[in-house]
């Protein structure tokens, strides 16, 4: 596979710190961003790399040359005049004949490329965008997709938004060579607005969602955060080739105030301190995954669409304060009949309704999670039981019913105890 890296950016928001080098050459612990990218690709067998350079491109060419010292083969496309985020792909029309990876040059990332490629081939789209949750969705492009991963909506930074799922465009793409039919001439082109977004109505654009490590260096603060994560080994750890650890979270009474059966979006309100607690999870290397029973669906008291809006509100409120959830798993079933308006097809005894461990097992299989190194936090006996049944450590907000359970006064308290135990290992 060929990887194309768009390495010609100037980095307007961070030029005060590095005005004499391209953005992709900004050092992280003494090594350029671009070198980390090349090392990540080479580890996964991607050694044929094309660098698109522009602003101060000689700095990049002088450092990497033909790539021999880095175990790869590097060729260059040099923009004489700026061609936007995609115009230079015109030069690849005769060079690339199979699916290829396109990466923004300002990212530190470590993603399982084979898993991404399998998803891309399975769906048969022209383009697959890698999406992920991040700590600043309010100033990022939001990508919405259906259950099959087909993109249904794209909100740019300036587009109006209210409640939304925290899934943003990461700057990594898997592209089919069919995309070159859209490049009829050499000119300045915006990849997102001119090429990808118009594909939505043609149903040929897909989103591959992942909790793996992908961060840009758009601001000095983000640069400092990435340096910390590289130093701590978090970047490679989050690659799904490696076993992951998760902190599973109950929803009602753990994240949001318990109002009984929550049926209206207006009744959803975060518990004080929850955002800070989840933010700590995000920074720790654990995945933050919600596991929740939602029998209001089976009882006919809320639709799937209404539940989705509640979860979008939850993600939006968390995102405003820099916290995010890696995934949400819910059970819509309820075993008891007799409710007015109930949905009979959901009135079943299932394997996903807590305390059955089905939802946690789905998360385990999706994200390669080591349950023996993971935790389940909730405010009920049921949450303790699902943890025990799944083989992870139970944590109870309040007085526990089982001796195995860690007793906490709040989610924030639980996270502090868990992370302090990790540090003392």
Residue 250 appears among annotated catalytic residues: yes
Q: What are the pLDDT tens digits along the chain (425 aa)?
A: 999 999 976 655 555 566 678 889 999 999 999 999 999 999 999 999 999 998 889 999 999 999 999 999 999 999 988 899 999 999 999 889 999 999 999 999 999 999 999 999 999 999 999 999 999 999 999 999 999 999 999 999 889 999 999 999 999 999 999 999 999 999 999 999 999 999 999 999 999 999 999 998 778 888 999 999 999 999 999 999 999 999 999 999 999 999 999 999 999 999 999 999 999 999 999 999 999 999 999 999 999 999 999 999 999 999 999 999 999 999 999 998 888 889 999 999 999 999 999 999 999 999 999 999 999 999 999 999 999 999 999 999 999 999 999 999 999 999 999 999 866 54
d(CA 311, CA 163): 9
Q: Cα-flanking dihedrals φ and ψ of residue 248, to 5°?
A: -85, 140
Options 252, 326, 379, 383, the catalytic residue: 252
* Structure tokens, 18: 């590095």
Q: Where are the alpha helices (DSSP H) in 124-239?
A: 220-231, 234-237
Q: Whole-angstrom Cα distance, residue 117 to residue 115?
A: 5
- Measure the CA–CA gap between 10 and 56, rounded to whole angstroms: 9
Q: Is position 252 annotated as part of the catalytic site?
A: yes
Catalytic residue (one of 106, 110, 216, 250): 250
User: Which of the following CATH numbers is that of domain 243-423: 3.40.50.1000, 2.30.130.10, 3.30.420.10, 1.10.3720.10?
Assistant: 3.40.50.1000
Distances (CA, A) of 342 to 19, 149, 295, 301, 306: 63, 29, 10, 8, 15
Residues in the chain: 425
Which CATH number describes the domain made up of 2-221?
Answer: 3.90.550.10
Task: Let me know if the fold of 2-221 is the same as that of 243-423.
Answer: no
- Structural domain boundaries of the chain? 2-221, 243-423
- Its pTM stands at 0.94
């Amino acid at each position: 596979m060929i990887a194309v890296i768009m390495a010609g950016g100037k980095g307007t928001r961070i030029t005060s710190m590095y005005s004499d080098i391209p953005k992709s050459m900004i050092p992280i612990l003494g090594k350029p961003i671009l070198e980390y990218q090349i090392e990540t690709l080479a580890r996964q067998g991607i050694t044929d790399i094309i660098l698109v350079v522009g602003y101060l491109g000689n700095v990049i060419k002088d450092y990497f040359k033909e790539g021999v010292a880095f175990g790869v083969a590097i060729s260059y496309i040099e923009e004489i005049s700026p061609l936007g985020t995609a115009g230079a792909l015109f030069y690849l029309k005769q060079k690339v004949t199979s699916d290829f990876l396109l990466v923004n040059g300002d990212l530190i990332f470590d993603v399982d490329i084979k898993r991404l490629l399998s998803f891309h081939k399975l769906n048969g789209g022209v383009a697959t965008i890698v999406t992920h949750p991040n700590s600043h969705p309010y100033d990022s492009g939001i990508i919405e997709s259906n259950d099959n991963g087909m993109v249904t909506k794209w909100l740019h930074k300036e587009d109006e938004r209210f409640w939304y799922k925290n899934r943003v465009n990461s700057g990594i793409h898997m592209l089919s060579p069919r995309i070159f039919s859209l490049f009829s001439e050499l000119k300045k082109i915006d990849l997102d607005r001119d090429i990808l977004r118009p594909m939505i109505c043609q149903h040929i654009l897909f989103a591959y969602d992942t909790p793996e490590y992908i961060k840009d260096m758009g601001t000095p603060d983000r640069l400092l955060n990435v340096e910390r994560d590289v130093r701590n080994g978090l970047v490679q750890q989050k690659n799904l080739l490696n076993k992951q650890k998760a902190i599973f979270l109950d929803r009602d009474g753990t994240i949001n105030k318990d109002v009984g059966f929550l049926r209206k979006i207006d009744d959803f309100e975060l518990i004080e301190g929850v955002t800070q607690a989840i933010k700590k999870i995000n920074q720790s290397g654990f995945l933050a995954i919600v596991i929740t029973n939602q029998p209001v669906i089976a009882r006919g008291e809320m639709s799937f669409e209404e539940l989705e809006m509640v979860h979008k509100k939850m993600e939006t409120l968390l995102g405003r304060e820099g916290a995010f959830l890696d995934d949400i798993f819910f059970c819509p079933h309820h075993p008891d009949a007799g409710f007015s308006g109930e949905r009979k097809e959901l009135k079943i005894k299932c394997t996903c309704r807590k305390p059955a461990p089905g939802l946690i097992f789905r998360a385990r299989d999706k994200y390669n999670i080591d349950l023996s190194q993971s935790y389940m936090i909730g405010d009920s006996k049921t949450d303790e039981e699902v943890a025990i049944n799944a083989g992870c450590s139970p944590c109870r907000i309040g007085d526990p019913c089982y001796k195995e359970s860690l007793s906490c006064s709040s989610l924030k308290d639980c996270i502090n105890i868990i992370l302090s135990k990790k540090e003392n290992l």
